[in-house]
Structures are given as structure tokens and as C-alpha cells.
Structure 1
Amino acid sequence: MKSKISLIAILMIFCMAFSVSAQLSRKEKKEMKKMAKELKRNPEQMKAMVEENESLKSSVASLNSQVENLEGQLSNKNAEIAAAKEEAQEAKAMAEAQRQRANEMAKKAKDANNQEPEALDESGTWFKVQVGAFENIDMSEYFKNNPNFSGEETDDGLQRITLGRFRDYWEADKFKKTLRKMGVKEAWIVPYKEGVRVPLKEVLENLSARPADAGQ
């Protein structure tokens, strides 16, 4: 066993000496040879060197394994980071699309609010039902885009409020009676010609006969 260890040690020293012989000086080569002879005469020292060499190899192998493990963990982390970045970019793109859609919807709503109402057809004769004339009350903001709810101000500052818009007098009359049943006792019919309010008697003589099923 000792001879085997000695042989291994000598081979190791020889290899070391050979690998660096081109770089060693004459004095250094002499010292290396002397060291080889001493190791040959001292097997225990050679054995310790062999064991130390094996231990170092084992440590290097363990460290290499740890490095590979750490590299694998680093690779996984890099993959997780890349996936997280991609998800963040997708979320950002989705949020931007939602923001643009919200802005478009808000713009459309704003444009719709600012849009001028279509001009009403005021030609011919129309009938509305007035529900009252009120002082110090302005409801004009509720008339926008609502042809069935309107009003006008008199010379003495009263605002006359009307509901409905009918071409047929008898339809206006039915609506008036319905309002009265609901408690609007002062509801009555007012006619308009070419958009101008006129007295009811001016249009009554031209009305067709009352329908047979019209109520009283």
C-alpha cells in the first residue's frame, strides 16, 4: 500500500514538475527533485498529500455542483422575471385600451350633450296641454331634447308649462282629461299655428267631428 501511495505521489510531483519545467529555473528544478526524494523517503507525508488532494477534488466537485444549482435557480428567476415583465406589459396595454375607450365614451357623451337638438316641425297646427302658469320658476333647462315638455314666458313674467304635442285635437283632449283625473285640474288645450300660439276659437271651427268613442 505504501509503495502504491509513493508511486502516486512521485507521479504527481513528476507531472507538476513537467508542467512547469519550462518556466522553472535551474535552482528551482533542483529544489523540486530534492522535494521528490524527501517525499519518497517519507510515505506518511506523501499519503497526507494524496488525501489532501482527494479532499480538494471533492471540495471542488461540491462547489461545482453548488454553482450549477445556483445557475439553475438564476435561470428560473430570470424566466420568472421575463414572465412578470410580459404580464406587466399586457396589463399596461389593457389599461391603456380601457382608458382610451373610456375617453372615447366620455367624448361621445360630451358631444351628445353639446349637440344641438333637431329643429321641431312647427308647420301647420299643433295642440299642447297647458298644466299651469308659474311665477319665479324657470324650467327651461328641462325642455332640451324633449319636444313633449315645453314652456314659454308671458309678458308679465309667468312661465306657462305645457305637456304633449299633438296634431289631432281629440288626442290632446284625451290627454287633458287624463291629466285632470291625475289631479291637474287646470289642464287645458292650447293650439299653435306655424309655431305661434293662437286662441283656441280660431282652430275649433275647422276641426273634424268628435270621434264617436271620445269621452266627455
Structure 2
Amino acid sequence: MKLLRYALLLLFIFCLAANIFAQKTDAKKEKEERKKWKEKKSKVEPLQYRDMLKEIDELKAENEALKRQNASMQAGFDDKEALKASLQKQIDELKKGGANTTVKTEPNEVDASFKSKGVIFRVQVGAYRKIDLSRFKDNNRNFGILQDGDILKYELGSFNNPKEAYAFKKYLMKIGVPSPWVVAYKDGQRMTEDIRTILKSVGITDADLETDLFKE
């Protein structure tokens, strides 16, 4: 009987020890597993954090670009509206009786604002008969009027650099001015050569002429 009790006690102690050992083993495995996940976490999180920062920077940059685009579109819209209002005002003035007025110059006489030494470039925005807009000039050097027979030619700007003239032409097209084109003057006289020939004479290359800036 005592032997049986002793055997049962040993069995109980063995089971208890086995259970404790199993718990320790499980705890050790769990600790090792946590350590592994912690290592993985320490490796993954900085990369994820970096990617998040990168994504945030990209979103910020995109947002700023959209803001600039919106501001540019709004500025273009405002410029176009201002131009429309100015043109409408001129039309209203002409309807009041100024439409049949002629410029008091001799045929082909060059406006004083054109008389610059060397080659300059301007942007012609129209050529009309019996429409005199000289009243709107007000000695503005950037607004030129040239009479060629009974045709009045209206030109804007005065550029030594042809690239600036073409950029201005593109801008006028953007805000709604129909079909402006670049013309050239040398020592106050309008040049009659082909514009591409003139451009080459001032250093514009064939490669330049193939860019969007110089394309019609």
C-alpha cells in the first residue's frame, strides 16, 4: 500500500514537473517568437515609415502643383477677361463715330515707337481698313501702329530677343487673341524677308526653329 502511494506520488511529481517544463518551454518559444517579430518589426517599420513620408511628400508636391496650376489658370482667365473688356471698350468707342477716322500719316510711315536701332521683333495682332485705334496708344512704346496704304497694322511689344517675342505671341494666343504673328524691324524699317531667314540672321538655329516655341 505504501509502495502504491509512493508510486502515485512519483507519478504526480513527474507529471507536475513535465507540465512545468512544458510551460517553461512554451514560454521560451513565445519569448523567442516575440523576439523574432520584434526584430522583423524593427526592420519593417522604418521602411514603412520612410515610404509613408515619401508618399506624404509626393502628395504635398502634387497639391502644390495643383495650387500653382489653379493660380495660373485663374490668372489666364483674369487676363483674358481684362483683354475682352478692353477690346469691348474700344469697339464701343468706335461705334460712337471713330470708326471712319484715318491715321494722319503718310503711306508706309513708321510710327515713332518703331524707330529703334538694330533688329527688333514685334507681334502683329491685326490689320484693318478704316479702323483707327491710335487714340488708345497714349505714347505707349509697346503699342505700335503702322499704316500701309489704307491698311492699319497694329503691333504689340518690342523685343531684341526673338525668343521673347515668340513667347509673347504664344501668351497672346493663350488668352484668346486670334492668329497673332511675329514681324521684324531693322533700324526702324519693317523687314520684308521671310521671318525664318530673319531669325537665322540673328542667331536662331534650325534646331531652334523646330521647337514648339517657333512653330506656327
Instruction: State the TM-score, normalized to the length of structure 2.
Output: 0.40
If asked which structure has higher relative contact order (CA below 8 Å, sep 6+), I would say: 2
Rg comparison, structure with higher value: 1
